[in-house]
Structure 1
Amino acid sequence: MGSAHAGRRSVGFWSIGCVLALVVVAASGFLGSGPAVAVRSAGHWVYNETLGAVVHVNGAAKNADAQAPVPGANPANQVAQDDKHGYVIGRRNGKLIVFGKSSLQVESTLPLGTTEDPVVVESLGATYLVFPSGGRIVRLGTKLAVITSGGGALASPVAVSDGTVWVRRGGSGGERLCRVQRGSDTMSCPVRVPSGHRGTLTVVDDRPAFVDQTVATIALVSPSGLGQSVPMGASVQAVSDGQVAGADAGGRLAVVTQAGSGRSASLVLVDASTVGSRGQAAPPITVSLGSDLFDPPMTAGGAVVLVDRTANKVITYDNHGVRKASVAGPHGGVMHASRGQDGRVYVDGSGGKTTLVVDGDGTVTPVTNDNGQGKGKPGAPGTTPPAATNGPGTTPTEPPVSGGTPAVPLPSPP
């Protein structure tokens, strides 16, 4: 019962977001180049090198519906957004170009004070840049708010729907789990990680959770500390070596292990629906991925999204471990995946000419970023889905219920 409830709730968040986005589009009647502000709060922005502009990808309509010229940007720049503005992050010059989502004009250029690559966290009411080695968080806006960690390096930031951001902080006093509440300019670090243990943060059913990779357990996180730890069911080696998704997929938490000596890469789907309850977790589901190299897993609704670096593909699975789609990525360069506030995953090709949009059911749609001319067709499902296993040599006997951060140690503080 708890498993089914968690799955419906998690996937339901994505479905509600899609309905709201469609209602806003219908009410606004917008199909031209001047975007309505409410519509722009969803979707995704990407810099298109050919156009010399940032382009808005409408995830619901599966097309590019607006663009804004941005002089001085380059293909290496990542684009973030909040409710009113978009931000082009200058990875080479340490500057932030701010443009209005209603005006489609550049409004200002702000110094970031670093050329370190940040992790972008878009949450309710605010968007943050997390600088891991620098140990600081910048809240974006027409004026930047700098939030310091107190000297420790940062890792595995996640956000929940109330706008709270959680992050791991290192330091001489041991690892702590810290939070920045919506609208706050300060960071508190109330939760201590057990001494000698390492792990990563994730989100389960819209609640922050800590995956202890030393002992393969997971526990909910609150300002008062870690909740009861629950065994993940997967081997300690798989969890310790794996890359953990930043959120569950309908109650299943995805862990990807890379190929090594005598072993293939694998996708392990752990039943996280019983975290915080006394329910019995279902056995993990394991899918063999072969010898290719994969990015950390991400999630969209009840789907798991994998970027295959070796084959240059985007592959999706449902939370039963069944492959839903396998779509070739844009030729040349490195793909970059991010999860939008609408719950979809957006995978940009190098140069920003094409974006693959992943919906909560695992459907992948290529969108040509040419301001409304390139609506794509859904990617075809894989012809030979790899077998999912539930224990040794068996298929799942009951439906599993139910996005990521790499499982890496914290960087050394500067």
Structure 2
Amino acid sequence: MPIPCLATSTALLTLVLAGGTLPPRLRLLRAFPDAAAALRAGPSAWRAAGCTPAQRARLALPDEHYLARGLAWLAEDQHHLLGLTDPDYPALLAQIDEPPLALFVDGEPARLWHPAVAVVGSRSPTPGGREHAHAFATALALDGWSVVSGLATGVDAQAHDAALQVTGGMTVAVVATGLEQTYPRQHAALHARIAGNGAVVSEYPPGMPAIQAHFPARNRIIAGLSLGTLVIEAAERSGALITARCAAEAGREVFALPGSIRNARARGCHRLIRQGAALVEEPAEVTTGLTALAQTLAGALRSRLDAPTEQARPALKSAPSYTDPDYQCLWKALDDDPTGMDSLIQRSGLTAAQLSAMLLVMELDGKVMAAYGRYCRKP
């Protein structure tokens, strides 16, 4: 992934550090070619975008301490900042109502494009809930899905750990603090493992402590990165239910495991099922339930990537009919035997972000199979 220039990173950090309500800064970023141009536009453009006086003051004079802290963090290996208009910004997340202005990423940004299922639930699950979280996350990872969760204790930690135990398994953690710290602290080792095999992301800049209001807000990112959200256990008042609501509002699928009527941690799941969430008992029911949505979102993603539409393609089974040269190059790089991402990069000359996006489209179109983080042509 190309390293953004210092001016671009500084401008984007300045927009993030302006704080306040998100929509005015989203409008400002979308109105100009990049964050630097948005800042150069000056107070009149900021006012027109709806920025408050406090936001305009911080855009004109950002907090030097937090700015320096953010730039120092970005200077380290595998640390990235993706603005909403950046081509590497995950396409599914960009589709939600209020996507993050920018994402701080510890790990590989291309992982955020991989087909994913959010697995969320109670911070204090029952022993059975812990087993379910581990079993479902393991099965999803074995099937080639990325597991997205929030790095919290309980179900989240079980889901992340289970995905990492699968050879080639992939997981993404979305947190509500700056990425130079870990919350809760006892998950520092888990944070490092996830960053090494997937990605840990936040919309909050380095130096941001754990603030209660940020945790419900980050749940929309968990839902937005995923094709569907699976709730393992959740009380009637639970952050997992916020994630499920965000998923439903984004047009994604919601799944819930039923439980005993005597289990208070199952009541949130039962409420979701009454409201229309899919009742699931086996991991295969989750992946089957995502088929229709995956096809719909693949069409939207294909349009974003300027690939031909389904109507424009002849019905060929031997090879994909994408006319884009990059797709043809990727098809030639693929084999009947599973091939890892590093080999595909070497064979095709394409970047990891490009390959992840195209592989997602081709996988959802039924042209490519993914397993254990490796890809091959579908028979």
Q: What is the TM-score normalised by the length of structure 1?
A: 0.26
Q: Whose helix proportion is higher, 1 or 2?
A: 2
Tell me which of the two structures has the higher relative contact order, counting C-alpha pairs closer than 8 angstroms and 6 or more residues apart. 1
Q: Whose strand proportion is higher, 1 or 2?
A: 1
